[in-house]
């Protein structure tokens, strides 16, 4: 059986790896020309009950532990004046250690047989042939027939239309990504404000969220509750003008915070937040399924990558458990997927709104305090 996985993100690679553990071959088709084609994002907190469970299924949990960024579970909430309202250190006992996304992806890639990932294969379209088979057309002209097709191709999935008419909708929140490098030496006030881990500096309708990465890198997402037209009206081809326009929305904020915008060492990059419906699901269709953002694109609250990896591991385990009844395996996988992702999407959207509603930042402080009182795990 030819299993075609579209997308070499964490979910698609986890699926391929756990299938390999069970002696099942698969091919991953990825649009990027190589593993180094683009930046892989910042830090991820890997949850014990989801991402770490998947890594155990993949036989990679010990190797994952070697990637942990010590101190990264620390978190603090500030108001717009830089006043610390909540500050929680990383004592190493939490269940959600931080690792660089790129290194985690490399761990998964290195755990696959050579040739598993076909780079430079951007899916253009997929057509149903019957009997669970699909004809895949790639942008460079190649075609492949799959007997099982898995869409692990993210928010704007080309596989999803085979199952669902749902399209991601703008959430009303726009993120703008920036970086400061060598912050302890070049930007000490901002480095001190961010602290050892994650920073949430919030006010109603806006915020500056950042995380300390290795080598003094401060990776920030500036958030604004704005219509899409506001974001598209910014000329990101002119980084200086874009920074100035974004910074103007934070007039009166502490300079240590606004420097994450004005002094950024990289051009600002727009990251509008899009969401699939919280209850997104589909009827069983022979020979095709989805995982990760293709299945349940949700608000950025620390769940997406974790759920994508768990999706991949559970789909592989379901296929290995019922090798002679593929559709029964897919039905079992999707039944669990829908229940899990619906609950997670609802909670993630609640946290997103909590960060920017009229009570910000105090609602998030109460949320973190409640999580601390309930146990050691971080919420976001």
**Per-residue burial over 28-65, b = 16 or more CB atoms within 10 Å of its CB, e = otherwise:** bbbbeeebeeeebebbbbbbeebbbbbbebbebeeebe
Query: What's the mean pLDDT when you consider all of the chain?
Result: 93
The conformation of residue 76, written as its DSSP 8-state character, comes to E
At residue 232, φ and ψ (nearest 5 deg) are: -70, -15
The confidence score (pLDDT) of residue 73 equals 82
Provide the 3-class DSSP secondary structure of residue 24: coil
Give the residue-averaged pLDDT of 51-71: 93
CA separation for the pair 161, 183 (Å, rounded): 44
pLDDT tens for 70-104 read 777 889 999 999 999 999 887 666 678 889 999 99
Residue 39 has pLDDT above 80, yes or no: no
* Whole-Å CA distances, 8 to 4, 14, 258, 317: 11, 9, 35, 19
- Continuous H helices in the chain: 10-21, 51-57, 61-65, 101-110, 183-186, 188-194, 228-232, 239-247, 255-262, 293-296, 304-321, 326-356, 362-374
Q: What percent of the chain has pLDDT over 90?
A: 86
Query: Distance between CA atoms of 272 and 327, rounded to whole angstroms?
Result: 36
Q: How confident is the model at residue 371 (pLDDT cuts 50, 70, 90)?
A: low
Distance CA 270, CA 142 (A): 33
Interatomic CA distance for residues 280 and 338, integer angstroms: 8
Q: What is the dihedral of CA 74, 221, 261, 248, to 10 degrees?
A: -120
Q: What is the pLDDT of residues 260-276, one digit of tens each?
A: 999 999 999 999 999 99
Give the angle subtended at the CA of 49 by the CAs of 45 and 54, to the nearest 5°: 85
103-146 pLDDT, tens digit each? 999 999 999 999 999 999 999 999 999 999 999 999 999 999 99
Would you say the C-alpha torsion 323, 327, 332, 336 has a positive or negative sign?
Answer: positive
- Check whether 379 has a pLDDT greater than 50: no
Q: What is the DSSP letter of 62?
A: H
Predicted confidence (pLDDT) at residue 258 exceeds the cutoff of 70: yes
- Cβ 46 vs Cβ 96: under 8 Å: yes
Q: In angstroms, what CA-CA distances link 293 with 5, 21, 308? A: 14, 24, 7
Could you report the per-residue pLDDT of 298-339, keeping only the tens digit for each?
Answer: 999 888 999 999 999 999 999 999 999 999 999 999 999 999
DSSP string for residues in 315-374: HHHHHHH-TT-HHHHHHHHHHHHHHHHHHHHHHHHHHHHHHHSTTTTHHHHHHHHHHHHH
Q: Please check the confidence at residue 278 and state whether its pLDDT lies above 50.
A: yes
Taking residues 34-54, report their average pLDDT. Answer: 89
- Report which of 361, 359, 368 is spatially closest to residue 79, judged by C-alpha positions: 361
| Distance from C-alpha of 65 to C-alpha of 192, rounded to nearest angstrom | 27
Q: How confident is the model at residue 373 (pLDDT cuts 50, 70, 90)?
A: very low
More confident residue, 1 or 178: 178
- CA-CA distance, 318 to 332, in Å (whole number)? 7
Residue keyed to tokens 């768990």: 310
Is 291 within 8 Å of 312 (Cβ atoms)?
yes
pLDDT at 378 over 80: no
pLDDT in tens, 150-171: 999 999 999 999 999 999 999 9
Q: Which residues of 13-100 form beta strands (DSSP E)? A: 27-29, 43-45, 75-78, 84-88, 98-100
């Amino acid at each position: 059986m030819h299993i075609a996985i579209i997308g070499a993100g964490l979910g698609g690679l986890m699926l391929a790896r756990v299938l390999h553990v069970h002696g099942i071959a698969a091919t991953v088709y990825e649009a990027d020309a190589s593993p180094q084609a683009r930046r892989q994002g910042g830090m991820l907190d890997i949850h014990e009950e989801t991402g770490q469970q998947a890594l155990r299924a993949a036989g990679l949990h010990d190797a994952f532990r070697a990637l942990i960024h010590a101190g990264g579970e620390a978190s603090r909430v500030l108001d717009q004046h830089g006043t610390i309202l909540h500050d929680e250190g990383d004592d190493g006992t939490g269940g959600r250690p931080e690792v660089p996304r790129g290194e985690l992806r490399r761990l998964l890639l290195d755990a696959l047989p050579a040739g598993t990932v076909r780079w430079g294969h951007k899916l253009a379209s997929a057509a149903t042939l019957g009997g669970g088979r699909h004809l895949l057309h790639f942008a460079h002209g190649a075609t492949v027939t799959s007997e099982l097709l898995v869409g692990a191709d993210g928010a704007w999935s080309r596989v999803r239309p085979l199952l669902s008419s749902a399209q991601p909708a703008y959430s009303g929140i726009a993120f703008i990504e920036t970086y400061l490098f060598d912050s302890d030496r070049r930007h000490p006030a901002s480095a001190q404000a961010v602290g050892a881990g994650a920073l949430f500096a919030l006010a109603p309708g806006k915020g500056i969220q950042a995380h300390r990465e290795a080598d003094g890198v401060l990776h920030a997402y500036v958030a604004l509750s704005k219509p899409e037209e506001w974001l598209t009206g910014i000329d990101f081809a002119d980084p200086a003008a874009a920074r100035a326009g974004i910074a103007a929305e934070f007039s009166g904020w502490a300079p240590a915070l606004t420097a994450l915008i004005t002094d950024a060492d990289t051009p600002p990059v727009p990251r509008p937040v899009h969401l699939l419906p919280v209850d997104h699901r589909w009827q069983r269709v022979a020979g095709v399924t989805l995982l990760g953002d293709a299945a349940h694109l949700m608000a950025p609250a620390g769940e997406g990558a974790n759920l994508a990896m768990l999706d991949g591991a559970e789909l592989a385990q379901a296929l290995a458990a019922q090798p002679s009844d593929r559709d029964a395996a897919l039905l079992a996988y999707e039944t669990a997927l829908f229940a899990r992702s619906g609950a997670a999407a609802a909670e993630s959207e609640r946290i997103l709104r909590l960060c920017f509603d009229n009570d910000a930042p105090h609602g998030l402080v109460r949320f973190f305090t409640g999580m601390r009182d309930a146990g050691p795990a971080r919420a976001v």
